[in-house]
A and B are shown apart, each in its own frame.
Chain A
Amino acid sequence: MCFLVSLYRENFCNFNFQNVKNQFSCDQIVLSNFLLHMESYCLAGNGEELLDKFLVAVEMTWRGVELPIVHEKSSFFFFSGLLQTNDKVALKEITRQLQLENVIGDKVFGSFAENLAFLLEALRKGDRTSSCPVLFILDEFDLFVHHKNQTLLYNLFDISQSAQTPVTVIGLTCRQDILELLEKRVKSRFSHRQIYLMNSFDFKQYIRIFKEQLSLPAEFPDESFAQRWNNNVQRLPEDKTVQDTLQNLFHYTKDLRSLHLLLMLAVSNVTVHHPLITASDLQEASRQHRMDSRANIVHGLSVLEICLIIAMKHLNDVYEGEPFNFQMVYNEFQKFIQRKAHSMYNFEKPVVMKAFEHLLQLELVKPIERPSVRAQREYLLMNLLLDNNQIMDALQAYPNCPTDVKQWAASSLSWL
């Protein structure tokens, strides 16, 4: 049992995509061709896990491809836009990973200009026939594009175009318009090869992927259990509720990461007493996955805070979404207390202010501009970040709500 669960954890959490090879077989052939020609590429993909998959595919290809020049030291370097946030850091990292001579242990010596000159010289020294090829993979490529002057990209693409050490640069990004972001001189050095990775499967294939992801592989030690489990998995999509759940998820997002999250939640309910996944497990997982977080927060507010939110809702209705300040909300609240409320005690202004500030802290209400020292807190203009439907739904679910508060919320404009 533990083995089963840990197997799934490996697959879903570590995002080890070895078992989804078939999607990229054609790309592998394409890739090995490209690698032989040593140029620079840009890959745009929808959804980030596709890029992870591609990375794995690249890695496998690189190790498996028969290049005409094969050296033991195959150089495959991976950089991420999230980590290397500007050119200086990126350059140091490149120097460190390439283990050039100005690196001792982990420290890189020299200034930015020196490092750059050194790196370019090192890369220029070789030629196509005798040096080992270098592959740079830049993850979050769109973040690299925002560096100052795009110097790093310019130099890397420059080297890859000239006939020296064979260098390939592959950029991975989520943006489809990445070429617009490149500067003119950088774009001219780019080889304009783009591979688009899209999730192009339809719902039937989605269900097939679901079954595949959930089935146990052949190497699983307990054969009879594996058999039972796989049979159960094959039968699951025939259930209407399972189909509805998957359909909902498919309409919301096609990417496999959300599917994995759902499956992980469902699998975590598997215990010795409950060995097979049922439709209700999936339904429960889906419900958890799709909770409305703002409604949850509103559920936990006190009655006074709910009254303030209803007062803001009325203000929004009357003034059509114009920003309001605390004084207006308090006024509206006073009107309610004097006219209709029998269950609410007339709280004093500082107490109401404290409740209002709690709403500010939860970011349900946001000021339009940053509060300056000069302006009084009561007159600061704000906007409500909930809409009417959310408020009414949340009120339905609110426990022990006094009836006059509910009626006030449902009442339309009384004095217009």
Chain B
Amino acid sequence: MPNLEHPAYPAATLLHLESLVPCRESQVSMLLSIFGERQQFSFPSIFIYGHTSSGKTYVMQTLLNTLQLPHVFVNCVEYFTSRLLLEEILMQLQSCCSETEQTSHVHCDTFNDFVRLFKQAVVSEELEDQTLYIVLDRAEQLREMEANILPAFLRLQELTDRNVTVVLLSEIVWELFRPNIGCFEPFTLYFPDYSIGHLQKILSQNHPPEYSVDFYAAYINILLGVFYMVCRDLKELQHLAALNFSKYCEPVVRGEANERDTRKLWKNIEPHLKKAMHTVYLREISSLWMFRVGFGLSAHTHVELPYYSKFLLIAAYLASYNPVRTDKRFFLKHHGKIRKTNFMKKHEKTSNHLLGPKPFPLDRLLAILYSIVDNRVAPTANIFSQITSLVTLQLLSMVGHNDQLDGPRYKCTVSLDFIRAIAR
């Protein structure tokens, strides 16, 4: 039974549309009722927001293509300046309105020219008074362009006096878009996130033909059970599902279990998924590499440094995170007691580890280095060049200008885990 009904469009098209957009029927029917019939005016601007991968771009494109409404689709990240954006809209308009395939390059600098050229371009037999839709994806980029672009787009219907509707798609809520001088408020529509049931339904649709639907559905169930707490993004989950499926099927392929042996399958896949959380989910390694080499590899574990560089780095870490007073205590053989002053009592609570590394002068680094290396270290140019190469590797960073009178100051930019990994 079709849920989408609209007098202006044939029922067969609507049925087909419904099959293409699972779990989004109510949003599509809302959009259909707003769009109305082809010649009718609609809201001058519509703002659609929702999470990543909640189907905004997909639904808009499917809707406009299936019902064959005249439209222009532009991604604002791809055309990130106003000139590129306006020229692209005009070029797509040419191909939309005219029968010929050729599109000549249109020169358009300002919004004023755009309005003029738009009015000229829209007069055509093909459109026949139908509403033209201009869809701007990733509309948050419009805020970075000139200040008049966003308010002008919202009022495009009024400024050009034509039957046009601008649709803005974004992840960010409308309150963060509103310009300070006020603007024409668009109609806002929310695309809700998919619930776990919806995700199950959509992911199960992609099952490979060799296996049964139930088998794949059980696999998706397991996958969602592990990853749902961390991530609800449909695209990420699809990527993970595709990658891990072959590992899941291994027992069945090897003949150790059949499709219904859920316990065995679960025991096989569980450690694999936990490892996947660390590497594949973070996209630190590409899927191709993963297939060749296997899991457990992370990009950060294997950084080879020369002997003295390791010590330099450890010394830098100590210099960054220990306050200067404690140096004497830790690094000298005969140290005195340290008296706590009032100042220190007040500021004890904020640990250095929370606030980030502090800069330290070169002398302090060398002093700590001499005390932690067992044998004698001569301050040769070798040591200093290793310091510079650490800076190039961005394991240390230089603070302040090159020609400071006091000498160069550095900061350590690596974490404790990294230091521990090196220190082995």
Residues on the B chain within 8 Å of A300, using CB:
50-51, 54, 192-193, 232
Residues on the A chain within 8 Å of B293, using CB:
none
Contact code string B165-178 (vs A, CB < 8 Å = 1, else 0): 00000011111100
Q: Is the CB of B230 within 8 A of A355?
A: yes
Instruction: Please tell me if A215 contacts chain B, counting CB pairs below 8 Å.
Output: no
Which of B192, B281, B397 contacts A374 (CB under 8 A)?
B397
Instruction: Please tell me if A361 contacts chain B, counting CB pairs below 8 Å.
Output: yes
Contact code string A297-317 (vs B, CB < 8 Å = 1, else 0): 101111110000000000000
Which of B39, B175, B176, B355 contacts A379 (CB under 8 A)?
B355
Instruction: Please tell me if B188 contacts chain A, counting CB pairs below 8 Å.
Output: yes
Which of B41, B182, B284, B355 contacts A13 (CB under 8 A)?
B41
Contact code string A254-288 (vs B, CB < 8 Å = 1, else 0): 00011001001000110110000000000000000
Contact code string A194-217 (vs B, CB < 8 Å = 1, else 0): 000000000000000000000000
Task: Please provide the chain B residues from 28 to 84 with a CB less than 8 Å away from any CB of chain A in the complex.
Answer: 33-34, 36-37, 39-44, 49-52, 54
Nearest CB in chain A: distance from B57 CB, A = 16
Instruction: Please tell me if B148 contacts chain A, counting CB pairs below 8 Å.
Output: yes
Assembly CA distance A348 to B417 (angstroms)? 12
Which of B190, B357, B397, B415 contacts A296 (CB under 8 A)?
B190
Contact code string B185-224 (vs A, CB < 8 Å = 1, else 0): 1011010110110000000000000000000000000000
Q: Is the CB of B230 within 8 A of A302?
A: yes
Instruction: Please tell me if A335 contacts chain B, counting CB pairs below 8 Å.
Output: no
Instruction: Please tell me if B413 contacts chain A, counting CB pairs below 8 Å.
Output: yes
Residues on the A chain within 8 Å of B353, using CB:
327
Assembly CA distance A269 to B5 (angstroms)? 12
Instruction: Please tell me if B115 contacts chain A, counting CB pairs below 8 Å.
Output: yes
Instruction: Please tell me if A115 contacts chain B, counting CB pairs below 8 Å.
Output: no
Q: Is the CB of B33 within 8 A of A269?
A: yes
Residues on the A chain within 8 Å of B409, using CB:
none
Instruction: Please tell me if B146 contacts chain A, counting CB pairs below 8 Å.
Output: yes
Q: Is the CB of B34 within 8 A of A268?
A: yes
Which of A85, A302, A376 contacts B148 (CB under 8 A)?
A85
Which of B157, B196, B282 contacts A351 (CB under 8 A)?
B282
Contact code string A1-33 (vs B, CB < 8 Å = 1, else 0): 110011001100111000000000000000000
Instruction: Please tell me if B356 contacts chain A, counting CB pairs below 8 Å.
Output: yes
Nearest CB in chain B: distance from A166 CB, A = 27
Contact of A293 with B175 at beta-carbon distance under 8 Å, contacts A300-B193, A376-B413 already known: yes
Q: Closest B residue to A301 by CB, please name it.
A: B232
Nearest CB in chain B: distance from A140 CB, A = 8
Residues on the A chain within 8 Å of B188, using CB:
291, 293
Nearest CB in chain A: distance from B354 CB, A = 5
Q: Closest B residue to A52 by CB, please name it.
A: B158
Residues on the A chain within 8 Å of B192, using CB:
296, 299-300
Contact code string A175-197 (vs B, CB < 8 Å = 1, else 0): 00000000000000000000000
Instruction: Please tell me if B294 contacts chain A, counting CB pairs below 8 Å.
Output: no
Instruction: Please tell me if A64 contacts chain B, counting CB pairs below 8 Å.
Output: no
Q: Closest B residue to A294 by CB, please name it.
A: B173
Nearest CB in chain A: distance from B104 CB, A = 16
Residues on the A chain within 8 Å of B417, using CB:
349
Instruction: Please tell me if A331 contacts chain B, counting CB pairs below 8 Å.
Output: yes
| Chain A count of residues within 8 A CB distance of the other chain | 67
Interface stretch (choices A76-84, A224-232, A241-249): A76-84
Instruction: Please tell me if A399 contacts chain B, counting CB pairs below 8 Å.
Output: yes
Which of A83, A174, A348 contacts B115 (CB under 8 A)?
A83
Assembly CA distance A302 to B232 (angstroms)? 6
Instruction: Please tell me if B383 contacts chain A, counting CB pairs below 8 Å.
Output: no
Residues on the B chain within 8 Å of A304, using CB:
229-230
Which of A83, A257, A299, A350 contacts B278 (CB under 8 A)?
A350
Instruction: Please tell me if A163 contacts chain B, counting CB pairs below 8 Å.
Output: no
Q: Is the CB of A325 within 8 A of B230?
A: no
Residues on the A chain within 8 Å of B41, using CB:
9-10, 13-14
Contact of A2 with B175 at beta-carbon distance under 8 Å, contacts A80-B159, A327-B354 already known: no
Q: Is the CB of A85 within 8 A of B155?
A: no
Q: Is the CB of B196 within 8 A of A291?
A: no
Q: Is the CB of A363 within 8 A of B282?
A: no
Assembly CA distance A349 to B353 (angstroms)? 15
Q: Is the CB of A106 within 8 A of B116?
A: yes
Assembly CA distance A81 to B277 (angstroms)? 53
Q: Is the CB of A9 within 8 A of B175?
A: no
Residues on the A chain within 8 Å of B231, using CB:
302
Q: Is the CB of A362 within 8 A of B172?
A: yes
Instruction: Please tell me if A87 contacts chain B, counting CB pairs below 8 Å.
Output: no
**Residue among B44, B228, B230, B353 with the most chain A CB within 10 A?**
B230
Nearest CB in chain B: distance from A302 CB, A = 5
Contact code string B75-115 (vs A, CB < 8 Å = 1, else 0): 00000000000000000000000000000000000111001
Q: Is the CB of B356 within 8 A of A363?
A: no
Nearest CB in chain A: distance from B113 CB, A = 8
Nearest CB in chain B: distance from A152 CB, A = 14
Task: Please provide the chain B residues from 234 to 269 with a CB less than 8 Å away from any CB of chain A in the complex.
Answer: none
Q: Is the CB of B110 within 8 A of A85?
A: yes
Assembly CA distance A47 to B357 (angstroms)? 52
Nearest CB in chain A: distance from B315 CB, A = 19
Assembly CA distance A272 to B171 (angstroms)? 36
Residues on the A chain within 8 Å of B331, using CB:
none
Task: Please provide the chain A residues from 344 to 360 with a CB less than 8 Å away from any CB of chain B in the complex.
Answer: 344-345, 347-351, 354-355, 358
Nearest CB in chain B: distance from A264 CB, A = 7
Residues on the B chain within 8 Å of A396, using CB:
none
Instruction: Please tell me if A394 contacts chain B, counting CB pairs below 8 Å.
Output: no
Instruction: Please tell me if B181 contacts chain A, counting CB pairs below 8 Å.
Output: yes
Q: Is the CB of B196 within 8 A of A400?
A: yes
Assembly CA distance A271 to B159 (angstroms)? 32
Residues on the A chain within 8 Å of B148, using CB:
81-83, 85, 143
Assembly CA distance A363 to B51 (angstroms)? 12
Contact of A83 with B152 at beta-carbon distance under 8 Å, contacts A5-B36, A302-B229, A302-B231 already known: yes
Nearest CB in chain B: distance from A370 CB, A = 12
Instruction: Please tell me if B151 contacts chain A, counting CB pairs below 8 Å.
Output: yes
CB<8 Å pairs between A and B, sample of 7:
A83-B148, A268-B36, A269-B33, A271-B5, A293-B49, A293-B173, A304-B230
B residues engaging A (CB < 8 A)? 5, 7-8, 33-34, 36-37, 39-44, 49-52, 54, 110-112, 115-116, 146, 148, 151-152, 155, 157-159, 171-176, 181-182, 184-185, 187-188, 190, 192-193, 195-196, 228-232, 277-278, 281-282, 284, 353-357, 397, 399, 413, 415, 417
Q: A83-B111, A302-B230, A354-B281 are in contact. List 6 more A-B contacts (CB 8 A).
A: A2-B7, A297-B51, A327-B355, A354-B282, A379-B356, A400-B196
The 6 A-B pairs with the shortest beta carbon distances in the complex, nearest first, are: A300-B193, A379-B356, A293-B173, A268-B33, A13-B41, A83-B112
